[in-house]
Amino acid sequence: MDVSVVIPAYNCELTIARLLDSLEKQDTSYSYEVIVVDNESSDTTAAIVLEFSNRCSVPLRLSRQPRGVTIATVRNFGASLARGRGLAFIDSDCEPPLDWIQRGGAILDSWNWNVLLAGGCHPPVNGTWVEKAWHSTRSGHRQGSVFVHGANFFIGKKIFDELGGFSPFLETSEDYDLGKRVSEKYKLIAMPELSVIHYGEANTLLKKIVKERWYSKNIYKILSENIYYKPYWMSVIFILNIVVMCMSVLFINMGLLAISLFFILFSVSALALFFCIRAKRYSFFIQLLPISFAYILGRSIGVAEASLMFLVRRMKT
């Protein structure tokens, strides 16, 4: 077996059939199997997968993991069942092109299956302006970056097993953590043009705030390994400016209020510009301004909550 496709699934009855259909129709010379790990969905996800497996022309297996384990644990379990020399991870709310396995497998093969290939994502045709603008920022990750989108990447199984897979204790940023560990010993190739349609990205500003807040849950684990992690320090500066702004309103200090507002607007604008420069695309700069504010606000709320929990734990010990 050449490639094992691993899909973590939870309450994805609206998207899983489309993904499985695309995987069955792959135009490839590589042998492959599909492994779906259901995280105790409460909808008809498991039934859909089972029904599809009865008529699927490629090997398709359904396994389960109990609710409450991390997404990293779900993915690791799927990888433990894999028989392929390479692993292809894709999320249940994605849809790959028909040459996805062929292109990913060919690059793994050319590196003797000892490489991580980080693919990209793009929004559906009917995606909202939030989805389209945000996805535009994720299309230009340069070589040398350790960014890995868990929704779409290929990796040699030997590498994955040697490094212990995803860190099972991380609720978020487990893909970034894996990319960082892989890059320290093996080759990581950024290939955003190997892109899949992603139907599950936040499509409103409120959902963006909630999602970025969630990404900060494990911020101190990430910070312990990378003290220069930019989203953390950006959030700290943003929080300090919010505190200064509130104090200036409380004590009616208009000068201090103006300074704090300037730095908040500057931070948002600088972040939007950074996204544009990184992706080498500037057409979404205006739309990225409110999205960047939602990004910083969500991350800052997450950092504040994580900091409070950290202090509470320290006080108890």
Q: Is 261 helix (H, G, I), strand (E, B) or coil?
A: helix
Which stretches of the chain score pLDDT less than 50?
A: 140
pLDDT of residue 144: 60
pLDDT of residue 312: 81
Half-sphere CA count of 190, side-chain side, radius 13 A: 17
pLDDT of residue 78: 97
Instruction: Return the structure tokens found at 32.
Output: 């492959």
**pLDDT tens-digit map of 250-264:** 888 898 899 999 999
pTM (predicted TM-score)? 0.82
φ/ψ of 148, rounded to 5, equals -130, 125
pLDDT of residue 21: 96
Consecutive H or E run containing 193: strand 187-198
Q: Is 278 helix (H, G, I), strand (E, B) or coil?
A: helix
Query: What is the chain's length?
Result: 317
Q: Is 298 helix (H, G, I), strand (E, B) or coil?
A: helix
All domains in the chain, ordered by first residue: 3-198 (3.90.550.10), 205-316 (no CATH)
Contacts of 306-312 with CB under 8 Å at 24 or more apart are 306/216, 306/217, 306/218, 306/219, 306/220, 310/220
**pLDDT tens-digit map of 170-183:** 877 789 889 989 99
pLDDT of residue 278: 74
Contact 28, 60 (CB under 8 A): no
Instruction: Return the structure tokens found at 39.
Output: 């995280």
